[in-house]
Amino acid sequence: MFFRSKAKAEAADEPQEEQGFFKRIVSGLVKTRKSLVKRVRKAIRLKAKIDDELLEEIEEILIQSDVGMETTLKIIEDLRLESSSADAPELILTRLKQSIEGILLKNERLFEVPADTKPFVVIMVGVNGSGKTTTIGKIAQKLVAEGKKVMLVAGDTFRAAAIEQLCIWGERTGAQVVKSEMNADAAAVCYRALEEAQTNGTDVVLIDTAGRLHTKRHLMDELEKIVRVIKKTMPDAPHETILVLDATTGQNALNQAKIFGEKSGVTGMIMTKLDGTAKGGVLIGLRDRFATPVLMIGVGEGADDLRPFNPHEFIEALFSEEEDVEEA
C-alpha cells in the first residue's frame, strides 16, 4: 500500500522490495551515520568506563551533527541518569539508541489519501530550494502509479522556471497541471484548479507554492490568501499542509519549522536531502521540539528515494554497522 512500510527491514523473509528500500535509507544516511554514530563508537572504543569525559564527548558529537543544543542536553541527561561508572562503555550506545528512539516515536502518522475525501487537497509550503516541487513530483509519480487521478497546481507564480519544472513532472507522471502566466495571482490559480478538480474526477490535488524567505510577511500573507480561497470552494480543505524542510540547512530547518508552523497551520512535515548531508541529526531535534509529525523523508533524487518516515527504520539505518563505501 502506498507509503506504508514495515516497522523493521530485518527479517530474511521480508519482501525484497522492502529490503531494497531499507538499503536506500542506510546509504542515504551514510554521512550522518559517519558524523554521529561512528564517532560515538570511536569514542567508546578508547574508553574503559562511562565517565563525564565520555558524556561530554558524546554531547559534542550530537551538537556537531545538528541535533541541536536543547535536544542534545536532554539526551545526555538521559544517558547520565541511566549510566554508572561500573557499566561497560558499549552500553552507552544502546542507551543512546533508545533515547533517540524515544524522541522519534511520537505522533507518528503516515501520509495517506482517504478514499472518502475527493479531491484530497495537499498544499506544500517551505522556503525556496527546500524541495517542494521535486517532492510533489515524487508523490505524484507514486499516486499515479496507484491509479489515482492527480492534479498539480503551479501556485509558485514568481518564477517561470518553477512553472516549467512542475510541467515537466506533469509530463513525466501523466498528472494534469493547472498553471497560469508568471506573476499571476497564486490564489486565483488555486481557485480555478479546485473548481476543475471537483468536477473532473481528480483524486488528489497537489499545490506547489512560492517559497521566498519566511521572514517576509508577504509570503505568509499569500499563503493565507491561498488557504482562504481554497476554503471558499472546499470548506474542509486543505486536508494536508506540508512543510518541506531541507536537512542540509541544519539548525535553520528548526527555525523554519517554528515560523511556518505558527503561521500556516502545518499538519505534517517532510525532510528532504538527508542523503546529501552530515546534518541529519536535525531530524532528531525536529521531532523533539515539534509535535507535528514527519510524514516522509527524502534520501535521494529519485522518486523511490522519497520514503515514509518510519522511526524504527530510521534508527536502525542510523545505527547500522554497514561498512560504508566512502562517498565523495
Ligand X SMILES: Nc1nc2c(ncn2[C@@H]2O[C@H](COP(=O)(O)OP(=O)(O)O)[C@@H](O)[C@H]2O)c(=O)[nH]1
Q: Interface with ligand X by CB under 6 A: which residues?
A: 126, 128-134, 211, 244, 272-273, 275-276, 298, 300-301, 305
Select the binding partner of residue 28 from ligand X, Mg ion, none (C-beta < 5 to 8 A, by kind).
none
Q: H or E stretch including 155?
A: strand 150-155
Among 5, 133, 141, 209, contact with Mg ion (rule: CB under 5 A): 133
How far apart, in whole angstroms, are the C-alpha atoms of residue 214 and residue 212?
6
3-state secondary structure of 63: helix
Q: How far is the CB of 320 from Mg ion (least distance, A)?
A: 32
- By C-beta, is 11 or 161 nearer to Mg ion? 161
Minimum distance of ligand X from residue 223's CB (angstroms): 14
Q: Indicate which single residue of 162, 186, 274, 317 sits in contact with Mg ion (rule: CB under 5 A).
A: 162
For the bound state, the minimum distance from the C-beta of residue 118 to ligand X, rounded and expressed in Å, comes to 26
CA 118 to chain centre: 25
Instruction: Please give the grid coordinates belonging to residue 178.
Output: 493547472
Which residue's Cβ has the minimum distance to Mg ion? 133
DSSP 243: E
Residues in the chain, how many?
328
End-to-end CA distance of the chain: 35
Strand partners, 296: 270, 308
- How far is it, in rounded angstroms, from Cα 163 to Cα 140? 16
CB 58, min distance to ligand X, A: 28
157 in contact with Mg ion (CB under 5 A) = no
Closest CA to 216 of 278, 250, 260: 260
Pick 5 or 83: Cβ nearer ligand X: 5
Helix (H, G, I), strand (E, B) or coil at 85: coil
* 130 near Mg ion (CB under 5 A): no
Grid cell of 135 as nine digits: 517532492
Of 68, 83, 92, which is closest to residue 287 (Cα–Cα)?
Answer: 68
Q: How far is the CB of 201 from ligand X (least distance, A)?
A: 27
Question: 27 or 130: whose CB is closer to ligand X?
Answer: 130
Stretch that binds Mg ion, among 32-40, 157-165, 269-277, 297-305 (CB under 5 A): 157-165
Closest CB 209 distance from ligand X, rounded Å: 9
By DSSP bridging, strand 306-308 and strand 294-298 are: antiparallel
153 binds Mg ion (CB under 5 A): no
The residue at minimum Cβ distance from ligand X is 298
Which residue ranges make up the site for Mg ion (CB under 5 A)? Answer: 132-133, 162
